[in-house]
Structure 1
């Protein structure tokens, strides 16, 4: 889709729909914005990929005014503070792959606890998080810098807490990789 085509689709939207889409874009709610554009124009031949292009152009238009979702901190002090707030005793730190249509693949860092048994979210590590984290500058050239950042932060936290670190698939995104077992 060319820029003029995305502009044409944008101009076909009623003012109220355009305001709604821009509202979602300014809140960094990409999926909701795409859904609105697609639902409004699909009867006129707009495909889902084209709707994504229209919304992408709105992201470019609004630039720094978008209230981006904050990135998770990866420094040891922040992760240790989050781990200390978990119910139960932390018995392991684990990194697991997940993904969605907005971010693609990303890694979730978890504290695994006993008494009560559970998993506690510590950080979500997107590619953007990994390349912005000064401690992970070396990860910029890697295929999956989010995995390198998760491995580095997870190992440091596990060492600090004197517990094992587990990452079932550090080199390849796999949301079905084996999980940590005591």
Structure 2
């Protein structure tokens, strides 16, 4: 246990050293992005500016993570998408086309890892409208300690919110791959 702690401290010192090795102007801009919850822009800037000093994408992510920890509550966090039935129903009612299904689909990026988008599928015109983006943290807060079983929290929250909304609207709910993140899972078809 002591060795793992010492290793973690060494990693933090290395990350801090890489941060301090960046030019002051870059550090100021990164902090600006972090304070605005622009993690993707911050990671990209650290990676591009630090590449010559051996800062890879993983190291850039660690550096930005430490900046988030440094600023804590001062970060103007991107608000969670609402997942309560009243809010989702209001968003669905605001769509001009007829909603024919509610669908949950996996998506992912280097900043958030896997997340789920909750969509209202429409006809005439055929399309879709994103009602909510359910990141890990959003899901954990929405589930509020509820047992999600073996599901990824985003899948559990999407299944609950999407199922409730679909039942409320009297339309089908479709989630092709709730057990495994898969952004190429089959989509809903009437």
TM-score (norm 1): 0.93
Aligned length: 181
Q: Deviations over 1:32-79 (max 9, x none)?
A: 112211221211222222222211111110011111111111100000
1:164 to 172, 178, 181: 172
Residue deviations 1:69-96 (CA, integer Å, cap 9, x gap): 1111110000000000112111111111
Please state how far the C-alpha of 1:139 moved relative to its aligned partner: 3.7
Q: How does 1:1-182 map to 2 (within 5 A)?
A: 2-134=11-143, 137-139=145-147, 142-182=150-190
Summarize deviations over 1:111-133 as a string: whole Å, max 9, x none: 11112211011111111111101
**CA RMSD across the alignment:** 1.5
Per the alignment, in what secondary structure is the counterpart of residue 2 of structure 1?
helix
List, as ranges, runs of 4+ consecutive aligned residues in structure 1 with deviation greater than 6 Å: none
TM-score, with length taken from structure 2: 0.89
Paired residue secondary structure (1:124): strand
Change (3 A) 1:79 1:85: same
> For the Cα contact (< 8 Å) 1:28–1:66, is it kept in 2?
yes
Judge which range, 142-151 or 19-28, deviates more. Answer: 142-151
Deviates more, 1:86-95 or 1:8-17: 8-17
User: Are the aligned partners of 1:38 and 1:48 in contact in 2 as well (CA < 8 Å)?
Assistant: yes
Q: How far apart are the structure 1 equivalents of 2:122 and 2:79?
A: 26
Q: Which runs of 5+ in 1 are unaligned?
A: none
Gapped regions of structure 2 (runs ≥ 5):
1-9
> In 2, distance between residues paired with 1:179 and 1:128?
25
The answer to whether the 8 A contact 1:139-1:145 is kept is no
